[in-house]
Each structure stands twice: as structure tokens, then as C-alpha cells.
Amino acid sequence: MILNSFSLPGVAVIMMINVMLLSQGCFEEERIALLQIKTSFGDHPNDNLPPLFYWGKDALCCSWEGVTCSNSTTRRVIEIDLFFARDWYSSMGDWYLNASIFLPFQELKVLDLGANRIAGCVANEGFERLSRLNKLETLYLSFNNFNNSILSSLKGLLSLKHLHLDANQLKGSINTKEFDSLSNLEVLSLSYNNIQEFTTLRGSEGPSRLNKLQSLDLSFNNFNNSILSSLEGLNKLESLDLRYNHFNNSILSSLKELSSLKHLNLGDNQLQGSINMKEFDSLSNLEELSLSGNNIQNFVALTGIN
């Protein structure tokens, strides 16, 4: 009995240590997968080492920088941040990703692969493989070297709500039907590319199915006024960024269908002369409007006209 009474504090300490370890640990399968990701991203030849370099220095993978686990007792990995995980300025050059390395993370919600000079994916190991990750909501692919072919590989990611493809190598014509299967998408960013137009297959296929889209960033591209016809059906669109394109005054009359807009940025385009403020009357929910960087001389408000 005396032995048992002296053992109780020791047992309590052991239990507390186990709880602490559990709070920072993750599934062994996921820990191994994280180390495989580290290996696939390659060595770093200089002193500017990313957080990924230090993965594996201890066994508590939920404490590794760039790795976030759920707060529940399952301790599943829910976010992986690999932004700038490769050395952009070294001689490592472009590379091709094997997206299958992320399949063990069945609870993954956020994946950031930005700024890694990814030019594409290994054959048959593209983002279509991630269709099994049915909780993946946010995918950052910004500041890479993806071309237009990336779009077809994303079709199976039905759970996506946020997709960022800024500063890649997208160019020319983009068929909006490439995004139709992403029916849960709320945020889409395609800024800093070289896209000239959206093409939409009309007829039996109908307008775009992105009817949950709330924010669309098309800034720093080569769009002109014809783009607006491709945005029909975006009834919940609240934020539209069209800066640094080639829009002129006639774009204003085409905006009338986007009645849910709250934020509209048309800065640094080719608007000029007089702007009739009546053009914005149908945008009754508009809270923020930017027209800076154009050649507008004055604004005309026609009073007494309904």
C-alpha cells in the first residue's frame, strides 16, 4: 500500500507527459509523409534555410514550423505551409511536383505551395490525385511556373473554396468551363499572369457554374472589355479586381449585371474623359470603387433622371 501511495505522483507525471506529447504529435503515417516531402523538396546549398529544413529534428511533428494539426485528440495534419520551401534564387531551377506525396493527409484543409518554381507535375501524379482529399479547401499555387495545362488537373478538387494561381505562366485564352467542377469555389485569384480573354462555351452548357464565387482577382493581365460576357451568372460576386488591364469606358455599362458587387477596382486601365456616375446606379451594394491611375478628366452626375 505504501508503494502504491508513492507511485501515484509518478503515474500522474507520466500521464501529463503523455498528454503533452500527444498534443504535439501526429499520426506516424503523416510524420513519415512529412519527411518524404522534405526529401522531395531537395537540399538547400546556402545559409538561407526554410523551416522545412528543420523538420525531423524532433519527433513532435505538430510542432514543426509550417505544419498545423487539428485541436482534437486525432491530431491530424490540417495545414501544410511550404511557401518558399525551395531556394528560388539558387541554381535549383524549375522542377516537377509529385502531388501524390500529399495523399496521406486525409484531413488536410490548407496547402500552400507558393514560390517554389514548380513548372508542373510528374506524369500521372498531378493535382487530380488530390481529389481524394475531400476536406481540402484552400490551395495556394502562386509564384510558380504553371502554364494553362494546370487548370485541367484541378477539376477533381470539388471541395476547394479558395484557389490562388497568381504570378504563373497562364496566358492567351482560358476556357471558363475549366472551373465549372469547382462549384464550391468562393475565392479565385489569377492576377499577374498574361491572360487575354475568357472563352465560354454557350448553348446547352449554360453559363459558368461558379455561382458561389465571392471574390475574383484578374488584375495585372491583358483583358479587355469582352471579358464581362464571361462573368454572367456570378450572382454572388462581391469583390472584383480588374486593375492593370486594357478596359475602356464602355466596360462600365457591362458591369450592370454584377449587382452584388461591394468592391470594384478598375485602376490603371484606359478609362478617360468624362465618366457618367449613372453607370454605377445598378451596383446598389457597392461600398468601395477605385478608378485611380486612369485618364479621367471629370465625373458627370445627371440629376433628375431616374
Residue 134's CATH number:
3.80.10.10
Quote the pLDDT of residue 6. Answer: 43
Please check whether residue 299 lies inside any domain of the structure: no
User: Sorting pLDDT into bands at 50, 70 and 90, what band is 24?
Assistant: low
Please check whether residue 98 lies inside any domain of the structure: yes
pLDDT tens-digit map of 35-84: 999 999 876 666 667 888 889 998 899 999 999 999 876 789 999 999 99
Quote the pLDDT of residue 46. Answer: 60
Quote the pLDDT of residue 121. Answer: 96
Does pLDDT of 196 surpass 80?
yes
* Chain centroid, CA 148 distance in Å: 16
For residue 25 the three cell numbers come to: 504529435
CA distance 57 to 53: 9
Range of the domain at 109: 13-263
Please check whether residue 148 lies inside any domain of the structure: yes
Please check whether residue 268 lies inside any domain of the structure: no
Does pLDDT of 89 surpass 60?
no
Please check whether residue 282 lies inside any domain of the structure: no
**Burial class (CB within 10 angstroms; exposed 0-12, middle 13-18, buried 19+) of 298:** exposed
Please check whether residue 288 lies inside any domain of the structure: no
AA identity, residue 100: S
Quote the pLDDT of residue 86. Answer: 82
Is residue 79 classed as helix, strand or coil in its secondary structure? strand
Strands 95-97 vs 67-69: parallel, antiparallel or unpaired: unpaired
CA distance 268 to 275: 15
Quote the pLDDT of residue 199. Answer: 83
Quote the pLDDT of residue 47. Answer: 61
Task: To the nearest 10°, report the CA torsion of 92, 98, 104, 107.
Answer: 80
Please check whether residue 301 lies inside any domain of the structure: no
User: Sorting pLDDT into bands at 50, 70 and 90, what band is 160?
Assistant: very high
Please check whether residue 277 lies inside any domain of the structure: no
Determine contact, residues 216/236, Cβ cutoff 8 Å. no
pTM score above 0.85: yes
Total structural domains within the chain = 1
CA distance 232 to 301: 27
Does pLDDT of 303 surpass 60?
no
Does pLDDT of 304 surpass 50?
no
